[in-house]
Structure 1
Amino acid sequence: MGTSARTGRPLDGVSSIKVKIGLLVVVSIVAAVVVLQVGGRAGVPGWLTLPVTLAVALGVTQWPARGMTSPLREMTCAAGKMATGDYSVRVTATSADEVGRLARAFNTMAADLATADQQRRQLVATVSHELRTPLAAQRALLENLVDGVVRPDDAALQTALAQSERLSALVGDLLDVSRVDGGAVPLHLASVSVADLLDRAVAEAAVGTRTVVFETSVEPSDLVVRADGARLAQVVANLLDNAVRHSPPGGIVRLRAEVEENDRWSLEVTDHGPGIPAGQVRKVFARFGVGDDSSGGTGLGLAIAGWVCQLHGGSITALPPADGGTGARIRVMLPRNPVPRPGSSVEPASTPATEVIPVTTTPPDVTPAGPPAVPLPSFVGTLFGEYWPERGPATAPVALYGSVAIGALAAAALPYRHIGLGTFLVLLAAGVLVFGVSIHRRRPWTTVVALLYAGLASMAVLRAAEWLVVLSLLAALVLVATALTDARRVLPMLAGGAGWVLAAIRGLPLLGRTLAGTSRHRLLWPVLRTAVLSLVALVVFGGLFASGDAVFGSWVAQILPDVHLADSFVLRAFVWFFVGGIVLAACYLALNPPRVDAVAMPPTRAVSRAWEWMVPVGVVVAVFLVFLVAQASAMWGGHEFVRRTAGMSYADYVHQGFAQLTVATVLTLATIALAVRKAPRDTDRDRLLLRAVLGTLCVLTLVVVASALFRMAVYQQAYGFTVLRVLVDAFELWLGFLVVLVMVAGVRLSGWWLPRAALASGAALLLAIGLADPEAWVARQNIERYEATGKLDLASLSSLGADATPTIERDLPADLARCVITGQYRPAGDDDLLGWNLGRSRAADIPGYGDDAVRGGCPAQVGE
């Protein structure tokens, strides 16, 4: 075990935990410094270098850190099992440090406890239980003989003799306790008639004090199996004793034996007693599992029956009652011809019909020593606990290979190009992969999100405005996170977004298993390893010789004439790692989403009196009413009223309060949400009152939204249109739509659909804005304002992007259009196929676009 274990645990040979931690810190720092230096020297942006550096440092330390904490987690798991009486679990103890020494001491302690517990319990329990059943039956028979209930005929005496022989066999078994403890128990195989076996067992069980009816069925009736007849009789006797004790007077105990597939046979014993409690099914075959004084048992019969079944290479299970009835149902499954286990030998048979098979086994309450019976949770799994359990597949090669391929596509298509067709292809490929592996891919919400995602991603190729592409990408990421986690409420949606980031850590166990799975390919990893080592050797030695010899350096320069090739390679490597990592984290989120529904606001208790929530909300309603009166006064009074009252122009007046009205709308939605949580809704009167008050507040909020939109329209007519003002208008309009949705939800006081509807409507509005070409629309509105008033801000118009250029060239007078178009910003370089963008392509076809050299004598404003 030493070699294999140390291969998986590189630091096992270090004898101090402090030194191990120091080595991990050093390795992490060195990896981070190297990546930062390489990225900085190659000119990689800091926002791209930092996450890649953190990921590389974390990934590099994962390999030497393997196995450092697993013995402690194994000991925690083993200690929990020992608390329940299971002393069989052992921990891996290959490390030479303090943790390894503690693990070895733990194993020694567990072995000593297991031996002491086994020696203390097994002899007394076996003697008390195994002697009780035949003695009770023999006593009942003798009492019946004394009382004259049974005549001392041959049948009665034969039954008494069988019980005495069974007692003698049990005494002989007790002499073999030491051999049982050592794990080597001989199994004497012979031909056994199942029908005769069951008849004898029923005859012995029928002499008890409780009257029950036995029904026996054997299919086929002449079924003969090879087994240890004495131990098999022990199993049947224990099962019948257990069934009789738990059956009501006059109850039926059924025994059914039949042939199964794969050369096996089964024995099923059922009764009509209270049955096995659901929580005790797993413990029923353990020593002292469910025995109690009231039932007359000690909880050992089924445990010993299971031990005998294990000797024969079979199994014993507790099944639910058939046809929904009551009672216990125990099934024994055994091979018709048991064979020796690997490594055992067959002793010479004492008779031709009998053979002895030494079977290595353990008592029913002790399992073999070795690794834990249950998979040990990883450190990452323990870190996230029940909020993010491992429920996904064992490996995910499709997600891994797909993420690597998409990262390579991004590395080839994105660097040194503007946002365009290449960006759209990367987004589209990532969406296909992530939605394809999602466990929620067939849900309607996922379909809606996929359509919105495709539309928002198309902005990268349709529009040249980078701000629009960034907003679309952010909205698409939020949508994707909700679809992958199936989040339905606000907090789960936020948790889903955070889960995308945390998936980079939570997915490490799955990534490790997938990489381990790919390592089984005989050709893949050797090829990759050889290619990487060859490339590193070429770069290192080629760089040294090129810098140390002028002739060699000239040859290298001829082969690699681009002096920026190294910087380009580094940048593309960072992009590859960054994009591939984001996609891989999204794939893990799709394969194993966290339990975001468990994230919720702490429960609150509704107020007991209606006025406790009505008074605060009523104050808000009153403030809204006073504000609307002020708005009406300003509108009816006009410019002179505003100047006389507020001392400012009407345009300045409407501009002053727009931001505050937007904030007030958001706070109103928060007020409504809080009132819904605190208001009582037990009676029809409470619900009607809630609908009336909040409905009034929503109507007043819609009036405020209309006022805010009117204010912005007035201000834009006075000072012109900008993209930011249009976006603020759109945001206020979306808030008004949310208020309408709240009113609809208030009809039934049920808004489970509201968060998703709000998110989808916001994304759809952003998509509609993008398709409407906002910069071209702003340019058209300013041109129309110029045609109506003669006023035009040429500097503001020149700040618009390439999307507005065709509109400016078409609708503005030629001299002014030339001033605006030549003053526009034009990205350096021409677009190739992967950098193609519709907006930039249309602007590039217009003469003078972005050519500031030909601009001259152009004013900043006209008519202002």
Structure 2
Amino acid sequence: MKPPFFRSRFSLGITARLFLAVLFTAVCVVVAMTLAAQWSFNRGFLGYLNEQEAERLEAARPRIIAAYLENGSSWEFLRGERRRWFHLLRPVPAQEPQPAPSPPLSELTGALLRTTLLDENGHFVVGFSDTRGQGTRQPLQVDGRTVGYVVHAQFQSVTAAGDVRFERSQFRASWTMGAVSALLAALVALWVARVLLKPLREMAKATKRLAEGDYSIRVDARSPDEVGQLATDFNQMAQVLERNEAMRRDFMADLSHELRTPLGVLHGELEAMEDGVRPLTRESLPSLQAEVATLNKLVSDLYDLSLAEAGAMTFQHTPLDLVELLRLAVVSYAQRLSDAGIVLEVQCDEPELVVSGDRRRLRQLFSNLLENSLRYTDRGGRLQIAARRGADQQAVLTFSDSAPGVEPEQLQRIFDRFYRVEGSRSRASGGAGLGLAICRRIIEAHGGALQAQPSPLGGLLMTIRMPLNHERSGTPLHEGVGA
């Protein structure tokens, strides 16, 4: 394992590694192509020389056979006579005129010196002994009878001075082209490393700034490839983190405010009693109890909301009748609504709406919705509650109240924690802004949905939808409950 100092001092970045990888690949390809070109050239050039010699021997075979017949059908006239042998191998000027005074290519390459004559028994007659029995063997036949063999050792390397110079010039040209190709590959690799990796370097810098707490950072996501998709995902992540950070700050500010208000009232009341400004009597206790109840409600709501957001809120699902639960909730709020001057109207077309749910949580849901209407409906207004069976086998419950209403752009935000429509927090009827957030999480845990819309009465219309269950019956909710 490398020590940390070595890794920090000698480790290469992704740009350098990509550059070296592309350059190494290109150089390997260039070297392989150059070596392959040289090998192919050698094979082709030597093959060309061997073909020339084969053509020369084929043309000389009739002359060799004619000389054999003229000398008594014996090879004794050539035994040890290399000059006469070379003369037979050379073309006759009258029969094979040359277009130029230069000698044939095979003579320049020394092909004649690589040719041997063997008799019918394969015994050496004339030529060079070091080529005996090697290379290609061509028979010499007279009247269908083999009288001898011409053996030619093929070229294995270039030996003539002109051919060597030509070969070297080809090799130099190949390696020069290879060097130029490697240089071009280096330039291309540098371009790839610098240009194509530029978005990644920008995202690396942006990620570092994001880790340092700068959630406003964004990167250019105009590229249509995978890098552009990565940049888009990064921007979405940064946007979510920025929104979460803003929500966290708002949450802390709202929480501190909601806790400070009842605590401040309690502190003032207790100081007044301690200083003797306000006597400690039975009549002074209700105000203290109210502030303690406010704190207890706030802490309970925070606890429920934290459990819901963490997915740890417990539910005991059993078959129960929503109509019965709604009737109990309405009865408990009827007097408070009447005291607030709000007319309550309830309508239910079904004797029962059986669902699978948690009784305590659903009662909390109805209580929060009724509390919301109670707090935010002007005196002299109305609250209409309806329960019916939906066409898609769902139980549908609606809570519709009168003015004041909610602006359309605020309808989705009313389910955010600590969000309240009114701007002032000093409003006496204002709550902590947690009730509707808890309501949505309760209904979603039951597989249902909670939707907010403008009410025909001028206020807010809350619609609950839950899947029905048919395992038990409940007590029907009678019409006419009102205040």
Scaled by the length of structure 2, the TM-score of the pair is 0.38
Whose Rg is larger? Answer: 2
Scaled by the length of structure 1, the TM-score of the pair is 0.23
Q: Larger % of helix: which?
A: 1
